[in-house]
Structure 1
Amino acid sequence: MHTPASMVMGIVFAPLGLVLLFTAAITPQWREGQTRLGMSGPVSLLRSGVKGQGMGVRSGSVEALLLVRSDGLWESCLQVEHSELKQCWPVAGPYQRDPRVRLTQGLVLTSLFLCGTGIVLACIGFRCWTDIPLRGVAATGGLLVVMGGLLSLTALGVYTHNLGRLGMEDPHQGISRLPHLNLRPAGSLYFGWLGSCLQVLGGSALLFSFKRPRCPTCPSYPELPVCPACSSCPEINKPDTDVYEISC
């Protein structure tokens, strides 16, 4: 099978990037922040749950609990560090209504759709069951993958640039009143960056499928280029059994 190395590289990197970006989109660790809370506020809601786990904490130790807040594109979570007490809910409030969050959601969904469509076209163009791949179809799929990767990079850039300001106009977020959090990028954001870069790399490799391979010429007719897969030159595609003409 005459499949170029660039097409093989693209058909490997593009799905890997799609999986990483999809993992980042559905996980709620795009940003996170930590704070120590006293007896009042959100910890009062969690106090009974902490005692219910048999931790046997005193009032003084409850004051030292570290509360971790994480936000994603479609889900937010609240967890007490060093415990199994965790609560998640769909994004709501100012964070959900923030136009930059909505823009990121739309760009990521569009990126996933374009990349998935491009991978399907690339697989059709790959044509493992034949000797000659459909280069035009594979390259078109690569173009869609590149476009999807660029859209996801744009979404990640917008979110990262405004990470500390998203949904901060109203002190009420999620289910309770939270103090100021020192927000920082979290693991899902890094997965998204890596997946987007792999999408661009894999799509760019597939774009090289537009370039036709250099085929050897027929020894008898060097001015006529032919492809080894064609039968226009018998000296290139000669049968396994040689036929000799014997004259008496």
Structure 2
Amino acid sequence: MQTPASMVMGIVFAPLGLVLLFTAAITPQWREGQTRLDLARPGSLLRTMIKSHGSVDSLLLVRSDGLWESCLQVEHSELKQCWPVAGPYQRDRRVRLAQGLVLTSLFLCGTGIVLACIGVRCWTDIPLRGVAATGGLLVVMAGLLSMIALVVYTHNLERLGVHDSQQEVNNTRFPQLSLRPAGSLYFGWLGSCLQVLGGGALVFSFKRPKCRTCPEFAACPACRRCSEIRNKPDSDMTEDRSSKRLLRI
């Protein structure tokens, strides 16, 4: 069977989008910000911890947040600390909404890919176009849900858990962080777009190809070659019709 190009496109783009979105979901780089910590004050704990690095008056810290994990790292150093999201950031309804939408998107996309693989049926002659199109519809819905989650998070990026950040800043005497989108957010956008494209391609495969040259069929299955019927001599066509009439009698 010659698999339609729309099915091939869908069966390639949908899993790729799923992988990218899953990578974005488990990594803590949805947003990040930098701040400089003054170590000139005597008795600084961090100054004591990094005394092996020589005389250091200040450190540049990088704070990154994801959906389920946050990290704090000293730039150009292996010193890094990660912890599960907590506090007002975790309780923020917009963060919880993004978490729920992303999880739902991953589940729908995985289910849609399974249905699409069953519908394509590359090991047989006739594809199940309805099943493949249903899987594509689930993949499109998954892409739209993940896009909604990304829009909500990106639009409120600097306001998510702002009370928690402000409290932490006051406790450690940091200057206020200037937060910006990070790499995981871009992976999520790319994965969502691929999901929509792949799912849309599978949905388009629902339409059966029209074979106008076939004398007795309004539409042929995808694997049946109309050229064989078109190139068949008229005498053979007449004999076939006569045999069918005899069988009916």
TM-score w.r.t. the length of structure 2 is: 0.83
Residue 213 of structure 1 and its aligned partner are, at CA, apart by 1.0
Unaligned 5+ runs, structure 2: 237-249
Distance of aligned partners of 1:181 and 1:139 in 2 relative to their CA distance in 1, 3 Å threshold: same
Count of equivalent residues: 228
Choose 115-124 or 222-231, whichever is displaced more: 222-231
* 1:172 and 2:161 aligned: no
**Who is 2:246 aligned against?**
none
Matched residue type, 1:217: T
Distance of aligned partners of 1:69 and 1:124 in 2 relative to their CA distance in 1, 3 Å threshold: same
**Cα separation, 2, equivalents of 1:120 and 1:13:** 14
Listed as ranges, the matches of 1:23-62 within 5 Å are 23-39=23-39, 44-51=44-51, 54-56=52-54, 58=55, 61=56
**Who is 2:188 aligned against?**
192
> Contact conserved, 2:39 with 2:58, CA < 8 A, in 1?
no
Listed as ranges, the matches of 1:125-144 within 5 Å are 125-144=119-138
Matched residue type, 1:96: Q
Distance of aligned partners of 1:40 and 1:169 in 2 relative to their CA distance in 1, 3 Å threshold: farther
Matched residue type, 1:126: V
**Who is 1:246 aligned against?**
none
**Cα separation, 2, equivalents of 1:232 and 1:187:** 50
Residue 49 of structure 1 and its aligned partner are, at CA, apart by 3.6
**Who is 1:66 aligned against?**
60
**Cα separation, 1, equivalents of 2:39 and 2:225:** 84
TM-score w.r.t. the length of structure 1 is: 0.83
**Cα separation, 2, equivalents of 1:139 and 1:195:** 20
The DSSP-based 3-state class of the residue aligned with 2:184 is: helix
**Cα separation, 1, equivalents of 2:40 and 2:144:** 45
**Who is 1:207 aligned against?**
203
106, 117, 120: which one aligns with 2:114: 120
Deviations 1:24-57 (A, max 9, x none): 000000000001111289x944334423xx422x
> Contact conserved, 1:50 with 1:85, CA < 8 A, in 2?
no
Matched residue type, 1:36: R
Residue 7 of structure 1 and its aligned partner are, at CA, apart by 0.7
**Who is 2:101 aligned against?**
107
RMSD (Å), alpha carbons = 2.7
Listed as ranges, the matches of 1:140-151 within 5 Å are 140-151=134-145
> Contact conserved, 2:211 with 2:226, CA < 8 A, in 1?
no
Q: Which has the higher helix share?
A: 2
> Contact conserved, 1:31 with 1:72, CA < 8 A, in 2?
yes
How many percent identity over aligned positions?
79
The DSSP-based 3-state class of the residue aligned with 1:82 is: coil
**Who is 1:245 aligned against?**
none
Unaligned 5+ runs, structure 1: 243-248
